[in-house]
Structure 1
Amino acid sequence: MTTPWARALRVAGLAAADPQGCGGVLLRAGAGPVRDLWLERLRAAMRPGSPWRRMPAGIADDRLLGGLDLAATLAAGRPVAEAGLLAETDGGLLVVPMAERLTAATAARLAAALDTGRVGAAWDGSPARIGLLLLDEGTGEDERVPEALADRLAFHLDLTGVTWGETGVAAEDPAPYSVEDDPAPDPAADLCAAAEALGVASLRAPLLALRIARLAAARAGRRTVAAEDVREAAGLVLAPRATRLPPPVQDDAEARPEPAPAEAPSGSAEADDRSSSQTESVVEAARAAIPADLLAGLVAAQGRSVAPRAGKAGAMQRATRSGRPAGTRPGHPREGRLALIATLRAAAPWQRLRKAADPSGGGLRVQASDFRIIRFRQRSETTTIFAVDASGSAALERLAEAKGAVELLLAEAYVRRDKVALVAFRGAGAEIVLPPTRALARARRGLAALPGGGGTPLASGLDLAAGLACAVRRSGGSATLVVLTDGRANVARSGAPGRAEAGADALHAAGLLRGAGIRTLLIDTASRPQDAARRLADAMGARYLPLPHADAAAMSTAIRAAG
């Protein structure tokens, strides 16, 4: 398994042999011939007759979990159950396209099926012994498969760098391990040590690796787990989850304590040495299997949150009349849109009792308690508010970069529900130069007329920007504040000059921002990082970013990466 494609074929063989035991595969790859070929190899490796189902996007709970067959129930006059997709996939693999867009509710349903092997409650639900094939088609770090599902799958496979020319490797298992007298003395301990060395915090990871080691041994015809099986499992399961590089193994004879001259090495000491060497070999195998670009991406992603970002869709909020359907709930049609099918499903089981209680009428008996209305979720607007220090001799340069960053973000506002606003502070106060807008022509006109120079009323600028952000939130949107300043205030709230009072007012305004819970990024625009700007960022709970030489493109990228 020296090439990524050979490793991918090995994963396909193991996952097909025991889908439920493996949990499944998280496959990161865009649509294309390489992914299609791997899916064909996986399906061909499964046992004949094993179910292979594909889950539609936005699937409803009654189709996923099963529920009432409305037509059969109305025809029979009694409740008739209908199997859901999970029960139909019992013993096979469920393919989930665009898994990075799964809702939390659907991810919870799938995770429960993996844990219990049944639909619904473990004691009365239908069997659902399934494995999952999550197709991660996300294009950025902000699109991720829910961690609750990814943690339950043994294999995390990335085919984004595999070309069609590399797919000529035959789909064969490795040759059986030839050293019969080299069993793994304690595979669970070795895998736990490897997980700790790689920075894998999940307890499921070494347990899944142990299952894979046992599965590999069984496929090779061995009754016991060999050392090679443990090393392979560490490379396939633990390496893709690594968050740090393990320390290199020190091969220094002087570092090991020597036994006393009069004492011979005991059997227990020899066993300890062998166990230590075995653990080191497992860690080294996992280290060698870590993808080259994995750790660089993890370091770049540290410190980011999943909150809505500038230039991205806003946070999901509940709505009553419009948005994306998100199930149903009991309610009156005056409170929302009537869900007719769900209402009929709720009323169907009670028809025999209601007709027996009142045989005079005919047709379907629907009561107020049966009414179901549709629940909607829609994304709120995201507004990025730039608070720009327009004072001093360097104002023109700062304003030019702010104008460029605003225009870059506005270019994306035509396809996303977000807006941009601009607050400038100089002289004795602050002003809203550009109210929240997505109109590019209007923004350019407002930015072109913005003057610069004068004192630095930093507190007034923060107060005005905070008020604008709170107004955006009251209107149902979400706001991100980007402050461009060197942090050196010299005009107080009252308009009086003086660095001491102005600095105290600025820290007080920063504390109010932190208390309001406004997501904030502070960009230090000084020629070199300033302690005053760092203290200000700490006071407002903002991410501090020194960009003394940033152009508009770099600034726009930093704003998207903040959050």
Structure 2
Amino acid sequence: MSDGAAIWADAMIAAALAAIDPGAASVLLRAGAGPVREQWLDLLRELISSTTAVRKLPPSISEDRLLGGLDLAATLQAGRPVMQRGLLAEADGGVLIAVMAERIAPSTIAHLTAALDTGSISIERDGLSLRAPARFGLIALDEGIDDERVSPALADRLACHLDFGAVARADLGESLFKSTDIAAARELLPQVRLSDAAIAALTTTAVVLGIDSLRAPLLACRVARIAAALDGGTDVAESHIACAARLVLAPRATRLPATEDDADSNDAPEPRDDQPESEEDHSNDGPLEDRVLEAAQAAIPADLLKRLQDERAARTRASSAGRQGTAQKAPQRGRPIGSRRGEWRAGARLNVLETLRAAAPWQPLRRRTQPAGKSSRLIVHKDDIRITRFKQRSGTTTIFVVDASGSSALQRLAEVKGAVELLLAECYVRRDEVALIAFRGKGAELLLPPTRSLTRAKRSLAGLPGGGGTPLSAAIFAATELALAVKAKGQAPTIVLMTDGRANVARDGGGRSEAEAEALVAAKQLALTGIPVVLVDSSPRPQDKAARLAGAMQARYVALPHADAARLSQAIMAQAGRG
């Protein structure tokens, strides 16, 4: 059986487990949109009972729609506060399918995890109190590409983790289960017993695989019980424990178990005299913990260590991107610029005049359609509600990254300093903030954090020495980190990189070839942030290396051979869109 076929077989088992007990066997599925994922979802819907509601959870859902709150239109029409139920309360006893789960807002993640932990939601706002049960199963669809991942807090609460990256359409097989099997397993599940030996085997396997979360072995125990019920038994057997290890523990592994060659032969367990005869027959196969570990190890990807390194780096970048406010909400303060149709929710400002103006033409018709004996002075529908729009100017921070290495110092460092001073004066007039990073020798140094002080900026620039190697990658990484921090504060950063592109010092001390490759990697990562960059080739003649670097970071490339400080300043201003 190929790897893809084996993964699909486990995926069908996971679908059956989720259909039996959605709350205990929730699923995290990493797969792009396509026939493989759709066939698995169709299988899940077929196995789920017709009485079980299946709802979709969009990534951009509002808090009022998620939790519930005051229904403004119904409140105005009824003349008393009317609460509307949120999606989590509506999904009680059913299944939620979270589409693009890797893009769910952190606030939504917090509410989801709280509901999964407590099985209920609680609202205390708008002068109303609402408590409702919210026991549901969650199917999180991770459609992330490259660095995007589902929140670790949410992934930790989902039992079965599946990855369809290696599954092709040729690997898809017929369903192994029917809806009658699911119904029989539901009735049998309360009678299933889990032995202490099974609990010890799953817990030991989690420890050996480097799983720190306490939820993982708990979820594995629940999955083992559901697998036993699906198999028609009331006792959890070794095959059910192995199934739980493959679906729950193996995808969470953070290290590979030690091989027999690494283990001390003196540590082998000795047989006990009081061991039952039936257990001695299995002694040649090793303890139950070892057999469960072998089953989990067989499901661990071969490139586990590389994937762990990539995911760790991705989480670091994702946390920075999450703080940078790439999906900032519309401003809630500033200069009013009209109104728009929308929902009145927390943070939004209701435009009462425009709401009444939108509802006024429809009052005669709405009064005629009112039930007999019911009168209302004002009938406002949901489509009448208008929200005030605001326009707010965000500050701009220009981050100057100056090459002060030997190659630049011997050629054009004085002209670069003059251009930066002119740009600093322009920024001072607009009351924008500026920052200064210089790189030479073995690393990059933040000489001036974001400030509006022109005097401090000129003083830092005047004392900038030249000479040494060109640690270009260190400078790009430092500029990216600073720009993301600026963006997290709600400001708009722009990076102006002045260099000849001749990297010769890597961050680990490597030579020219390593430094150039590392600089291109750093440039591509900077391009992913979407931060505008202007690369000024400060060499007397345009360099191919500088042009390739600008292409990698999707920057505006400015080559100004023999240009003075004034022309250099004008070119940067024009390329940045400010001229």
Which bracket does the TM-score occupy, shorter chain normalised?
Answer: 0.5 to 0.7
How large is the RMSD of aligned CA atoms in angstroms? 5.4
Residues 269, 32 of structure 1: CA spacing in aligned structure 2 closer, same or farther, 3 A cutoff? same
- The equivalent position to 1:133 in structure 2, one of 114, 128, 139, is 139
> 2:490 maps to which residue?
none
Q: Separation in 1 of the partners of 2:274 and 2:235?
A: 23
- The letter of the residue matching 2:332 is T
Q: Counterpart of 1:547 in 2: which secondary structure?
A: helix
Q: 1:397-439: CA deviations, max 9, x gaps?
A: xxxxxxxxxxxxxxxxxxxxxxxxxxx8569968539969xxx
The residue correspondences of 1:308-323 to structure 2 (distance < 5 A) are 308=320, 314=326, 316=328, 319-320=331-332
The residue correspondences of 1:318-333 to structure 2 (distance < 5 A) are 319-320=331-332, 328-329=345-346
Structure 2 unaligned blocks of 5 or more? 182-192, 360-375, 381-385, 425-437, 454-459, 469-477, 488-494, 532-579
- TM-score normalised to structure 1 length: 0.61
Report whether the alignment pairs 1:267 with 2:277. no
Q: Counterpart of 1:225 in 2: which secondary structure?
A: coil
> 2:225 maps to which residue?
214
Q: Counterpart of 1:247 in 2: which secondary structure?
A: coil
> 2:548 maps to which residue?
none
Q: Counterpart of 2:18 in 1: which secondary structure?
A: helix
Structure 1 residue 376 displacement after superposition: 10
- The letter of the residue matching 1:302 is R
Q: Separation in 1 of the partners of 2:42 and 2:299?
A: 25
> 1:100 maps to which residue?
102
Residues 379, 154 of structure 1: CA spacing in aligned structure 2 closer, same or farther, 3 A cutoff? farther
Q: 1:205-254: CA deviations, max 9, x gaps?
A: 11111100011112212222112211110110111112221212459895
Report whether the alignment pairs 1:145 with 2:150. yes
Residues 528, 209 of structure 1: CA spacing in aligned structure 2 closer, same or farther, 3 A cutoff? same
Q: Counterpart of 2:166 in 1: which secondary structure?
A: coil
> 1:158 maps to which residue?
163
Q: Counterpart of 1:7 in 2: which secondary structure?
A: helix
> 2:121 maps to which residue?
119
- The letter of the residue matching 2:155 is A
Residues 219, 383 of structure 1: CA spacing in aligned structure 2 closer, same or farther, 3 A cutoff? farther
Alpha carbons 1:25, 1:156 under 8 Å: kept = yes
Q: Separation in 1 of the partners of 2:131 and 2:46?
A: 30
The residue correspondences of 1:341-352 to structure 2 (distance < 5 A) are none
Q: 1:350-381: CA deviations, max 9, x gaps?
A: xxxxxxxxxxx96599xxxxx99789999998
Alpha carbons 1:98, 1:138 under 8 Å: kept = yes
Q: Separation in 1 of the partners of 2:71 and 2:409?
A: 71
> 1:392 maps to which residue?
407
- The letter of the residue matching 2:120 is R
Structure 1 unaligned blocks of 5 or more? 175-181, 345-360, 366-370, 397-423, 437-454, 473-490, 500-509, 535-543
Q: 1:147-169: CA deviations, max 9, x gaps?
A: 22211110121113321121134
Report whether the alignment pairs 1:557 with 2:562. no
> 1:302 maps to which residue?
312
Q: Separation in 1 of the partners of 2:300 and 2:243?
A: 12
Report whether the alignment pairs 1:203 with 2:214. yes
Report whether the alignment pairs 1:10 with 2:13. yes
Q: Counterpart of 1:3 in 2: which secondary structure?
A: helix
Alpha carbons 2:201, 2:288 under 8 Å: kept = yes
Alpha carbons 1:198, 1:243 under 8 Å: kept = yes
Alpha carbons 1:428, 1:495 under 8 Å: kept = no
Q: Counterpart of 1:217 in 2: which secondary structure?
A: helix
Q: Separation in 1 of the partners of 2:241 and 2:194?
A: 10
Percent identical pairs in the alignment equals 37
Report whether the alignment pairs 1:191 with 2:202. yes
Residues 91, 497 of structure 1: CA spacing in aligned structure 2 closer, same or farther, 3 A cutoff? closer
- The letter of the residue matching 2:292 is V
Residues 207, 386 of structure 1: CA spacing in aligned structure 2 closer, same or farther, 3 A cutoff? same
Q: Separation in 2 of the partners of 1:135 and 1:258?
A: 43
Q: 1:451-485: CA deviations, max 9, x gaps?
A: xxxx9987999466x35x5569xxxxxxxxxxxxx
Q: 1:244-299: CA deviations, max 9, x gaps?
A: 2121245989535697xxxx942269989969711111112111101234432212
Alpha carbons 2:94, 2:136 under 8 Å: kept = yes
Aligned residues: 435
Residues 221, 459 of structure 1: CA spacing in aligned structure 2 closer, same or farther, 3 A cutoff? closer
> 2:539 maps to which residue?
none
Residues 338, 53 of structure 1: CA spacing in aligned structure 2 closer, same or farther, 3 A cutoff? farther
> 1:282 maps to which residue?
292
